A and B are shown apart, each in its own frame.
Chain A
Amino acid sequence: MNQNYETLIIGAGLTGIGLACADKENSLIIERTISPGSEYINAFNPGNDWQEEPLTSGGKNLKKELEDRNILCDGKVHISALSPVLYSFIKTEKLNVLFWTEITGIEKVRGNFEVEIYNASGLRKIKVKKIIDTSPERRSAPDKSSIISKSINALLHCEKEISSFELKNGKLLNGRFPSEKYFSLPVEVNDSWPDARKKLFAAWEKRPGKLSGWLIAATASEFAYSSAKGPFEIKNNWLHLPSAAYSNPIQSFEAGVNFFKGEQQCSCQN
């Protein structure tokens, strides 16, 4: 890994990956988990509006790959299978990504940023000219003001198809396969994981009898956020462009790909 990059991208979500594609050699993505696309995949957030045509060739290719691999069909997605597709994309596109790496400090030194990172090697410093934080909670300068709402989701396995169904508490969403559904429960933005998980299990235990055969296969490890659309300026050359502001992974990706083209105006966040 080099010590100098033009752009530091925080978060290997879809927008982060899209941003890195714009300048592969000079960008570095830092991701604190080991998962790309975590805001959709680990959130069990299948997104929506999949029928909309992608606007970029990258977006079109990604969508086609999902269809070819039987991950996406008729606007329904097998979201967990997006994970290996993204790992593979990162490798073939030769994107610089450091997974399992924390940002522990950012300092402005002579017009550049000196960023301290922490991972298995310990602490290290890198220098960058620009920072784009794509995380919902703005990890690089904690602030939740762009978060509109959040949910805790679960992936369900459903043996029997039941005709569409409104829940009092939460929503049911379709997955790619008939047996694949998602349960999405809105929680408070400030709810902690223990609070949210407690609500999720309580709600599922109290689900209508008709759904008794539908079972949780896994619960999310990331909240499904709805964020306001960025970019927001944190400081000069330090922006917040939340990946969770879009309808689906392709749109989040394209927001990144198109970012540098559009010379977008920043709205000030704080």
Chain B
Amino acid sequence: MLLSELKDRKAVSTNIKKKNFENNYDVVVAGLGVAGSIAAISAGRHGLKVLGIEKLSCMGGAATAGGISIYYYGLPGGIFEEIDEKAEKIKTGNLTAARGFHPDAKKFALEREAVKAGVEIAYNSAVTAVFREGGTVKGIRWISPEGVREAGCRILIDASGDGEVCAVAGCDFKYGREFDGTTQPYSHARVTFRDGRNIVNNFDAGHIDPADGDDFSAKVINAGILHLKDKFQEDDKIIFTALQLGQREGRLITGDETLSLKDFFSGKVTKEPVFYEYSNYDTHAKDWFCESELIQDWVVVAGLWGTKFSIPVPFKSMLPKGFNGLITAGRCISMEHEMAQCLRMQRAMQKSGEVAAWAAAIAIKNNITLREIPYAELLKGLKATNCFNGEIIETHWLSDRSELKAQLSSEKPGYAVWSAKLMGEDIKGELRQWLSSEDKHLSRHSAFALGLLNDKTALPVLREIVLERDKFIPSTSRIGSQKRLCSAIYLLGKFGDGESAEELLTVFREDTETDILTHTFMALLKIGSAIPEFREKIANGIIEKIGSNKFSAMYKVDRTYDVREDMAGYMRIIAIKKFDEWKIPHKLRETLEKSELTMRGKALMNQMFPIREKE
């Protein structure tokens, strides 16, 4: 047998003599959080012998111990609804009112159902190793209050949130965005009692490397301090600070199928969905210049941060590639970073737990592998508990041209901008006409639509937006909407518009806000990449500013709390990479060495200048 462990961030497997286990389970659920609790209860109800292992002393993970006891969108259906009803009954007359649901009622309801379903629960315990034969999982090791324990299992469900157990087993995973390999901000929720009820206070505490124990611990402390007040008062007394760090994103375990937002936006979706998410591109990142073009098109230009869509999820995204007897449930299923911003909400995560349990039950009862489960049979089961009910909410794009025009000339143009992009060639003629409209909204938003359609007729209007420093913020979404100036600068960069270079350098030299500065910086680099003759001038303009030791570009991570990150080092790394590529001499490395890099700066450095390990 192989003993797989994670040692200093690396998966290591050792051949051992072990043949079998004293204790054996049909299913082991690692992590009894949002997904794992439902997986364990459901598997128990299927009559399977189930062991649930949880680091904390309760079930429910982020929804209970994590303080996030509130649903954010998602779709109805599944056993979680019945458990929520039971939690509501537990609360009535005994527990305080709460915005959302009451974490303690949910905790107790989940536990009661698990015990009733015969689930054995190991609290205050952490999975630390996986046993396998080749790619087939055979059992696990965990540390418990009584010491180290081991057990065999036929199916292991990794519901640890962060895909920690899969990482231990040696599965492939990715995390973070392509640009710098970092994840969106983390949080540490606080539940206080205000206006007659428990209220969740959630904020962005900075950035974390979720796979680094030292960084994790340091960030626990940084976040914990943010709860400090000069004077605590009764009208906002603390009920508890979260027992789990608010990691919104972590490892994404590579599966047989990987969900991507790009595919989703272009209509490539699974024909074998097992559940649906319904959410928006809910990132808390605000440094948009580091996001992919797809996301900048969606948020920076169209302002569609808040637009929700229904995402079909195939079972294959829950099967770690190359492994048998292993299922992922929760926010670590196989998807790309961009999709992970949408697919993580609690209703959907609970559904994923239920899917994992149904799959385990079908595989075990029929003595087949997880990959051999017929889709129809899995679906039949999921329909029986209403987990899969076909209920989705369609996102309707505009097709009516007068409505399109009306919205483009409004303060909420985003929907129309994206609809026009989807209409493609058909609408270009009208958009071009609207460019010259007296109505500023119509003209400028039509330029955005044409920009997304890669149509250069948009350029004069985009340049005009920059000349005017148009800081109007359309209100398409509550969050994430950008100044028109930033949208235009981004598009001019995407076009590689040489004619804008001079004006963009002027903007760059100005004492301006970080969002404008960083978008201008990226646009200039893109223009330089497109037009070699401009390189020297652009590089000099950039070096003049960021080459100074005094240069700083403060990015505000949270709106209310004073959490900031200096992007100066970050920008220098990007510039060094580009200028080296352009073969332009510079001394930015020396400036960089004198400044201290943030965790993300270091991650970017690794991404852009990877240190190759010796074979």
Residues on A facing B (Cβ under 8 Å): 1, 32-36, 42, 69-71, 78, 80-81, 83-88, 90-91, 97-105, 118-124, 137, 139, 142, 154-155, 157, 176-180, 192-194, 197-198, 201, 204-205, 212, 215-219, 221-222
Contact = CB atoms under 8 A, between A and B. Distances in A.
Given A35-B241, A122-B7, A216-B94, 5 more contacts: A32-B124, A80-B240, A87-B220, A122-B167, A137-B145
B90 A201 contact: yes
Nearest to A215: B96
B225 interface: yes
Contacts of A154: 104
Contacts of B5: 122-123
Contacts of A90: 221
Given A102-B126, A201-B108, A217-B96, A120 B164 contact: yes
Interface of B: 5-10, 55-58, 65, 90, 93-96, 103-104, 107-108, 111-112, 115, 121, 123-124, 126, 128, 143, 145-148, 162, 164, 167-168, 191, 193, 198, 210-214, 216-217, 220-222, 224-234, 237-245
Closest 8 CB pairs of A and B: A122-B6, A87-B224, A119-B213, A121-B213, A84-B227, A80-B238, A84-B228, A177-B234
Contacts of B233: 70
Contacts of A98: 213-214, 217
A98 B214 CA distance: 7
B149 to A, nearest CB: 11
Given A102-B143, A180-B234, A212 B239 contact: no
Given A104-B143, A118-B143, A219 B93 contact: no
A191 to B, nearest CB: 12
Contact of A99 (B7, B216, B228, B239): B216
B13 to A, nearest CB: 13
B237 A83 contact: no
Nearest to B241: A83
A78 B9 contact: no
A121 B212 contact: yes
A130 to B, nearest CB: 21
A81 B232 contact: yes
A157 B232 contact: no
A121 B9 contact: yes
B312 to A, nearest CB: 32
A178 B234 contact: yes
Nearest to A124: B8
A47 to B, nearest CB: 17
B94 A87 contact: no
B237 A80 contact: yes
A88 B225 contact: yes
Given A104-B128, A120-B210, A221-B65, A194 B237 contact: no
A33 B214 CA distance: 14
A80 B107 contact: no
A104 B292 CA distance: 41
A33 to B, nearest CB: 6
A79 to B, nearest CB: 9
Given A142-B145, A177-B234, A194-B111, A155 B239 contact: yes
B230 to A, nearest CB: 7
Contacts of B234: 177-180
Nearest to A121: B213
Contact of A88 (B10, B93, B213, B228): B228
A36 B240 CA distance: 13
Contacts of A139: 145
15 contacts: A70-B233, A71-B232, A84-B226, A91-B225, A100-B216, A103-B143, A118-B126, A120-B210, A120-B213, A122-B7, A123-B8, A137-B145, A197-B107, A218-B191, A221-B240
Contact of B221 (A97, A118, A197, A216): A97
A154 B143 CA distance: 28
Contacts of A35: 241, 243
| Residue of A102, A204, A221 ringed by the most chain B CB atoms within 10 A | A221
B211 A83 contact: no
A176 B226 CA distance: 21
B94 A69 contact: no
A214 B33 CA distance: 29
A221 B217 contact: no
Nearest to B191: A218
A42 B145 CA distance: 17
B448 to A, nearest CB: 41
Nearest to B9: A121
A8 to B, nearest CB: 15
B594 to A, nearest CB: 24
A121 B112 CA distance: 33
A99 B230 contact: no
Contact of A34 (B168, B228, B229, B245): B245
Nearest to B162: A120
B158 to A, nearest CB: 15
A70 B221 contact: no
Nearest to B234: A177
Contacts of B57: 193, 221-222
| Residue of A34, A87, A216 ringed by the most chain B CB atoms within 10 A | A34
A88 B241 CA distance: 14
Contacts of A180: 234, 237
Contacts of A123: 5-8, 128
A78 B238 contact: yes
Contacts of A101: 213, 217
| Residue of A105, A120, A193, A216 ringed by the most chain B CB atoms within 10 A | A120
Contacts of A179: 193, 234, 237
B241 A197 contact: no
A32 B111 CA distance: 22
Contacts of B240: 42, 80, 155, 218, 221
A204 B105 CA distance: 13
